Amino acid sequence: MQYLSTRGHADRKKFCQILLEGLAPDGGLYLPESYPQVSGDTLNTWRTVYREQGYAALAFEILSLYIDDIPANDLRALCAKTYTEAVFGTPEIVPLRKLEDGVWIEALSNGPTLAFKDMAMQLLGNLFEYELTRRGEQLNIFGATSGDTGSAAEYAMRGKHGVRVFMTSPHGRMSPFQQAQMFSLMDDNIHNIAVEGVFDDCQDMVKAVSNDLDFKRKYKIGTVNSINWARLLAQVVYYFAGYIQATTSNDQQVSFTVPSGNFGNVCAGHVARMMGLPVAQLVVATNENDVLDEFFRTGVYRVRGSADTHETSSPSMDISKASNFERFVFDLLGRDAARTADLFGPQLAGAGRFDLSADPVFAQAATRYGFVSGKSTHTNRLDTIRDCHQRFGQTIDTHTADGVKVAREHLQTGIPMIVLETALPIKFAETIVEALGHQPERPAKFAGIEDLPKRVVVMQANADQIKTYIAKNCG
C-alpha cells in the first residue's frame, strides 16, 4: 500500500514512513492511493471474526489491508496487545447500547482516559514503540489538544521507549478534570504546554513546526493528532464493529452521528464507507463552533479566528479549523491535488474561507458521500442530558449529547442510528451538575485527581518559542 499527499507531492510512501512523519512535505495530509474494497463475503467473515475472536482480531483484518510493511504476525500481536478487556473494560471493547427506538450509542470511552481518543492512541503508542525499536531511533511527538487527544496521547506514550511528548493545549479552556489528567503526569518524557489562546492557535503551531522541514528532521518531530494517518486508520475499525453489532445481514444499512470539531473521527467513517461499509448517512454534529455544519448546509468553509471561537460546555469541539477536512475535500474534488492545495493554502490563508456552493461537486457531499449535519447549543445539550437521564436512565457527556440531539433530526425509518460516544460524563462534571443537579459517577482510580500536583508551562502562541522549548528539552 502506497500513500500520497492531498496536495500532490510526488513522493509515495509506505505506512511506517508516514507513521513517524505526520504532515507530508508539501503541507498536505496522507491518504492511501486507493481505498481497499470490502466484499460482502469479506464482511461476513469479519462478522464471525468479531463475534468469535474479538475486536483485536477484527482490527488486524482491517489494518492489514493498509499496512504491508509490518510482518503480519507482528501486526496481529500489536493489535492483541492493545485491545484487551483489561485496558478497555469489556470483552466487546466498543459495546453498543440502545438509547431509544432507532438510536444506539457505541461506547468508545472505556479506555484509560475515559475518551474515544484512547481507541486509536493506545494502538499508536504500541506502533511507535515497535517501529522506533526496529529502527533504533527516537521520536519527539508534538501535538495539540482541546482536551481528550492530549491525555490519551500522554497515557499511551508515558514510559514508552524512545518517545517524548510535547503537548499544547489552550490555557484555561479545558475542563478541570481534563487539565488534571494531563498536568498531573510527572513522567520524564511528558511535557505539557498551556498556550495563551484557543485550540486553533495550538494546532497552527503544530503545523508551523511540521512545515519547518529542517527542524522537523533535526529533532525527529512526529504527531499524534488525527492529521497522522495511523491514528485515523485505527478509528476506522470501530465503525465496522458498530455495524456488525447493529445488523444481522449485509443488506442492512446503518447511519452514524459523530460529534465533530476537527473532522478526524467522522473522516474515519468516510473511509469505512468508501471501503464499502453499508452506511446510509454520516451525520456531523457540531456545537456553537459550527464551521462544519455551515459547510455541509451552504458549501462555504469559513474558518474563525481566536476571538470568534466560542468557549462552550462541549470544549473538545471548540475548534474552528478542521484539519482533517482536507482529506474529505480532496476526495470530494475527485482527488484534484492542485485544487485542494489552492483551497487549503492560498485561499484559506488569504480570505479565511472558500466557497464550493456553485460547484456541482458540493451536492455530492450528501448524495454520493452521505454527509449531513446539525448544530447543538448549551441549552440543547442540557435538555438532551436531562431527557436521556430521565427517560432512559442513561447519563451522557456533553459532546455525546450534541450527537444525540443532532442524530434525532436525521433519523430514517428502518435504519439504526449509531451515535459515537465521545467521553464519560465525569470529564465534564460541571455541566452534568447543571443539567441533573448531582455529580456524575467517577471511576475509583480518578478519585481526587484535581487535587494532585501539576506540572505545566504557560506559553504564548509563538512557533519560534515552542521550537526553542522543544530543542532545549530534547537533549
Strands (E), 274-343: 279-286, 300-302
Which of 335, 319, 138, 121 has the alpha carbon at shortest distance from 233?
121
The count of other CB atoms within 10 Å of the CB of residue 409 is 14
Q: Are strands 254-259 and 279-286 parallel, antiparallel or unpaired?
A: parallel
218 part of the active site: no
Which of 370, 365, 148, 149 has the alpha carbon at shortest distance from 256?
370
Interacting residues of 258 by C-beta distance below 8 A, sequence separation 6+ = 265, 266, 269, 282, 283, 284, 285, 403, 420
Q: Residue 98's beta-bridge partner residues?
A: 104
Strands (E), 126-184: 139-144, 163-170
Interacting residues of 53 by C-beta distance below 8 A, sequence separation 6+ = none
Grid coordinates belonging to 430? 460541571
Selected catalytic residue, list 14, 98, 117, 220:
117
Tell me the one-letter amino acid at 407.
A
Q: Residue 282's beta-bridge partner residues?
A: 256, 371
Catalytic residues, which ones? 117
